[in-house]
Amino acid sequence: MQSAQAKHALIDAGRWLSAQGWVPATGGNFSIRTEQGFVVTASGHDKGALQPEHFLEFDARGSHISGAGKPSAETDLHLALYALSPDTHCILHTHSVAATVLSRLTEPHSLEISGYEMQKALNGFTSHLEALAIPVFDNDQDIPALARRVTEYHSHTPIRHGVLIRGHGLYAMGADMSETRRHIEALEFLFNCELTRRQLEKNA
């Protein structure tokens, strides 16, 4: 994908994600793999009102090649996730309430979900009976250290659809923009169902 096309796709995704309430207060960051390397949102911009000048371009090794503005501190995590899977071409990072709260309620290193038909919207799932496990990592302002922990986890348990950062949000991954948007919408639905189920059980 050319960088101009990538920026257009990310601008459109930003409007959609903002309308869902999943990227409040300039939160979140987005990226797409391009023919030249990567296009990533610059820090500090309302994701519902992105413009072409609100992006930075990096080469395949992660070196900045064009674009003004401050790179998001989480750019290194995007690049690490791309390095883990050559099939990943788009990453959308969001800050929804359900994802953020569930990440704090989940003490193990993964959030396990099963029994929902919506799981079949995720690549590789064919039944609601299959177990979905989304890795959960402690938040860390040292992004390279966080990226190393994600890489180590992937070495023994491949990361397929995304990761949760505790108290922070979701990084959804996909083979292209269409798949990533489908993954994030399905995951957010599942997170809302699971959070509601836990609340109802607690109050029963």
Q: Who wins on pLDDT, 24 or 108?
A: 24
Task: Say whether 93 counts as a known binding-site residue.
Answer: yes
Q: Is 133 exposed, middle or buried (0-12, 13-18, 19+ CB in 10 A)?
A: middle
Q: In the structure, what pLDDT confidence band is assigned to residue 15 with cuts at 50, 70 and 90?
A: very high
Residue range of the domain that includes 112:
3-203
Percent of the chain with pLDDT over 70: 100
CATH number of the domain bearing residue 186: 3.40.225.10
- Please check if 64 is assigned to a binding site: no
Q: How far apart are CA 172 and CA 197, in angstroms?
A: 23
pTM of the model: 0.94
Q: How many domains does the chain have?
A: 1
Task: Give the pLDDT confidence score for residue 24 in this predicted structure.
Answer: 96
Per-residue pLDDT at 52 exceeds 90: yes
User: Residue 50 belongs to what H/E stretch?
Assistant: none
Question: pLDDT, tens digit, for every residue of 151-182?
Answer: 999 999 999 999 999 999 999 999 999 999 99
Structure-block tokens of residue 9: 């796709």
pLDDT at residue 139 is higher than 90: yes
- The DSSP call for residue 42 is B
**Closest C-alpha to 7, from 81, 83, 79, 67:** 67
The residue with tokens 């096309």 is 5
Mean pLDDT value across the chain? 94
pLDDT band at 147 (very low <50, low <70, confident <90, very high): very high
Q: What is the pLDDT of residue 100?
A: 97
